Amino acid sequence: MAAASALALAACAPKKQDLPPPPPPPATSAPAPAPTPTQDAGVSSTIVPGSLADFINQAGSDRVRFAYDSYEIDDTAGGILSRQAQWLNQYNNVRITVEGHADERGTREYNLALGDRRATAVKNFLAAQGVSTARMGTISYGKERPEADGADEAAYAINRRGVTTIGN
C-alpha cells in the first residue's frame, strides 16, 4: 500500500520541463558614485588647504591672459589676481614664481622681454595687494613653452599668459 501511495504521488508531481523557469537573480546595484568635492559648509572636501588645488580652486585659475603685444592687467586678470593675493595672504609661508609667456610671433629675444614684462606686471599687482615681494620670483619663457599648439589667434591668445606657480 505504501508503494502504491508513493507511485500515485509521483504521477501527480509536475515534471521538470513543466516547471516555470526560476526567477532571475536579484540585480546587483552599481556602486554609488564617489562624492564630488564641495566647498559647502559642513561637507568635507578632498582639496587639501594650502595646496596647489586649493590655490586654483580659490583663485579660479593659476593663470591670467594678456592682449596681443601687451603686459597690462585687464579687469578679468585683475579679478583672478586679487583672489590669488587673498589666498597668498592667507598662506603667507608659500613662495611663488610668476612665469611670463608669449605667443610664437616675434623674435626669441623680443618674446623673452615681453614675457618678463608680463611676469613683472603680475608680481607688481600681487605686491600691491599685500603679497611680500620676498616670497615672489619671476621667470620669462617667452615663446618657448606654448600651452596651445597652432598658428591661429585662438592658440596665440592661450599662449599669451602669466602663470603663478606655488612652492617654488
Domain ranges of the chain: 58-106+115-166
Statement: residue 93 has pLDDT above 80? yes
Mean pLDDT calculated for residue range 160-164: 98
Q: In whole angstroms, give the CA distance from residue 80 to residue 25.
A: 55
Say what the pLDDT of residue 34 is. Answer: 45
Residue (of 83, 81, 75) closest to 54 by Cα position: 83
Mean residue pLDDT across the chain: 84
Say what the pLDDT of residue 38 is. Answer: 46
How many C-beta atoms surround the C-beta of residue 141 within 10 A? Answer: 18
Is it true that domain 58-106+115-166 has CATH number 3.40.50.10320?
Answer: no
Mean pLDDT calculated for residue range 116-141: 98
Mean pLDDT calculated for residue range 24-29: 50
pTM for the structure as a whole: 0.73
DSSP assignment of 9-58, as one string?
HHHHSPPGGGSPPPPPPPPPPPPPPPPPP---TTS--SSPTTSHHHHHHH
Share of the chain above pLDDT 70, in %: 73
Question: Of 8-17, 41-50, 106-115, 137-146, which gets the smallest average pLDDT?
Answer: 8-17
Say what the pLDDT of residue 147 is. Answer: 97
Statement: residue 50 has pLDDT above 80? yes
